[in-house]
Amino acid sequence: ETLKVGMITTLSGGGAALGIDVRDGFMLAIKQAGADIEVIAQDDQRKPDIAVQLADKMVQSDKVDVLTGIIWSNLAIAVVPAVVQQGKFYLSPNAGPSLLAGERCHENYFNVAWQNDNLAEAAGGYANDAGYSNSFLLAPNYPAGRDMLTGYKRFYKGAVANEVYTKLGANEYAPEIAQIRASGADSVYFFLPGGMGIAFLKQYAQSGLDIPLVGPAFSFDQGILQAVGEAAMGVKNTSQWNKDIDNPTNKAFVESFQAEYGRLPSLYASQGFDTASLLISAMGKASVSDADAFRDALRAADFKSTRGDFAFAPNHHPIQDIYVREVIKEGDVYTNKIVGVAMTDHANAYIDDCQM
């Protein structure tokens, strides 16, 4: 029978690019598999209260079986616990807050992207490999920002030159750049998603500083890179996916995505695609009406991921390789190339906090 999926994601306003990529990746997988899935995708406007109400609607009125789509951690925290309590499945294509990985983990909650700290941890690991010993850390002042610095420090072994939290949404980084200059750091680790990252990278390039930058993939994703341009060239960043990961699934995905939508897929598109692939694999094994069987089928993660090997840790978050990428230019297009592996079969730090 038809499986009903409710997708709550950001389709309007500033953060829409991410939501659209997740949705497009997700839909592509369904289309390719010809799976019998009905997707109801709706815009959460990046507001937690709207997201909660959409979840209510999808559960109560649309009677969906599975929910997915949320981009932002704060929205996920608002929506997921209530949804899974009502016996629905939630597959996260992006947000992976520590709360949902640890204390508030749930048997019906699966994260197909990463635990939030993962890419930061990998960046810390990479910093060790690169021989950095005095890092300057920079993130916006909100929970995800603090998690991203904690994740880095969890693996990074060197000293911390300074740790600076900026206002969320800040676009002006001259004061921080001055502090970096004065700090004597040998590397800068930063987490500044979206427009913040664009502004920072451009301003950093203008400042004439040449201390190496490293960060999680979020500021270097395919959509954003074109806007940063030259200023991002050569920067190392960590990601569980890149378009040049060498496996047939990924190759096919990148090609078909480009053919379908006329643009290169981003990290988020791959996550949307993988989420749908996981769902389809589980559908093949069990009916969603048999929750236990369906859950086991999901847990088996018996699908071909665009990132290669993929398995779930006990708290239903990925065990996966995380790569180091470098920003390059291919023709006119700025993109990433994998230059190394930061961590292999990496899980997450919250497994022990999770009792399910």
What is the size of the binding site for other proteins (CB under 8 A)?
Answer: 67
Q: Considering the rule CB under 8 A, would residue 172 count as an interface residue with other proteins?
A: yes
Q: Considering the rule CB under 8 A, would residue 49 count as an interface residue with other proteins?
A: yes
The amino acid present at 5, given as its one-letter code, is V
Q: Considering the rule CB under 8 A, would residue 356 count as an interface residue with other proteins?
A: no
Q: Considering the rule CB under 8 A, would residue 264 count as an interface residue with other proteins?
A: no
Q: Considering the rule CB under 8 A, would residue 4 count as an interface residue with other proteins?
A: no
Output the CA–CA distances (angstroms, integers) from residue 86 to 82, 91, 107, 171, 289, in the order listed. 7, 15, 12, 41, 14
CA atoms within 13 A on the CB side of 352: 1
Q: Considering the rule CB under 8 A, would residue 229 count as an interface residue with other proteins?
A: yes
Q: Considering the rule CB under 8 A, would residue 175 count as an interface residue with other proteins?
A: yes
Q: Considering the rule CB under 8 A, would residue 195 count as an interface residue with other proteins?
A: yes
Q: How far is the CB of 303 from other proteins (least distance, A)?
A: 28
Q: Considering the rule CB under 8 A, would residue 107 count as an interface residue with other proteins?
A: no
Which residue number, 131 or 208, has a Cβ lying nearer to other proteins?
208
Which residue number, 56 or 302, has a Cβ lying nearer to other proteins?
56
Question: Which among 146, 147, 208 has a CA at the least distance from the CA of 178?
Answer: 208
Which residue number, 53 or 128, has a Cβ lying nearer to other proteins?
53
Q: Exposed (0-12), middle (13-18) or buried (19+): which is 200, by Cβ within 10 Å?
A: buried
Q: Considering the rule CB under 8 A, would residue 81 count as an interface residue with other proteins?
A: yes
Kindly report the backbone phi and psi dihedral angles of residue 352, in degrees, each rounded to the nearest multiple of 5, phi listed first.
-70, -25
Q: How far is the CB of 341 from other proteins (least distance, A)?
A: 29
Residue pair 194/223 in contact by the 8 Å Cβ criterion:
no
Q: Considering the rule CB under 8 A, would residue 154 count as an interface residue with other proteins?
A: no
Q: Which stretch binds other proteins (CB under 8 A): 136-144, 285-293, 313-321, 344-352?
A: 136-144
Q: Which stretch binds other proteins (CB under 8 A): 204-212, 251-259, 289-297, 304-312?
A: 204-212
Q: Considering the rule CB under 8 A, would residue 207 count as an interface residue with other proteins?
A: yes
Q: Which of 61, 259, 331, 355 binds other proteins (CB under 8 A)?
A: 61
Q: Which stretch binds other proteins (CB under 8 A): 119-127, 229-237, 251-259, 297-305?
A: 229-237
Q: Considering the rule CB under 8 A, would residue 121 count as an interface residue with other proteins?
A: no
**What would the two tokens of residue 9 be?**
């994601």
Sheet containing 3-9, strands listed edge to edge, beginning at the edge strand earlier in sequence = 37-43, 3-9, 66-68, 89-92, 109-111
* Tokens 């040049």 belong to residue: 244
Q: Which of 4, 57, 299, 337 binds other proteins (CB under 8 A)?
A: 57
Q: How far is the CB of 199 from other proteins (least distance, A)?
A: 4
Q: Considering the rule CB under 8 A, would residue 296 count as an interface residue with other proteins?
A: no
Q: Which of 4, 32, 130, 165 binds other proteins (CB under 8 A)?
A: 165
Q: How far is the CB of 124 from other proteins (least distance, A)?
A: 17
Output the CA–CA distances (angstroms, integers) from residue 40 to 11, 64, 106, in the order listed. 13, 9, 24
Neighbours of 179 (CB within 10 A): 16
Q: How far is the CB of 148 from other proteins (least distance, A)?
A: 13
Q: Considering the rule CB under 8 A, would residue 279 count as an interface residue with other proteins?
A: no
- Binding site residues, other proteins, CB under 8 A: 11-14, 16-17, 20, 42-43, 47-49, 52-53, 56-57, 60-61, 73-74, 77-78, 81-82, 85, 97, 99, 141-144, 146, 163-169, 171-172, 174-176, 178-179, 181-182, 194-196, 198-199, 202-203, 206-209, 223-224, 226-231
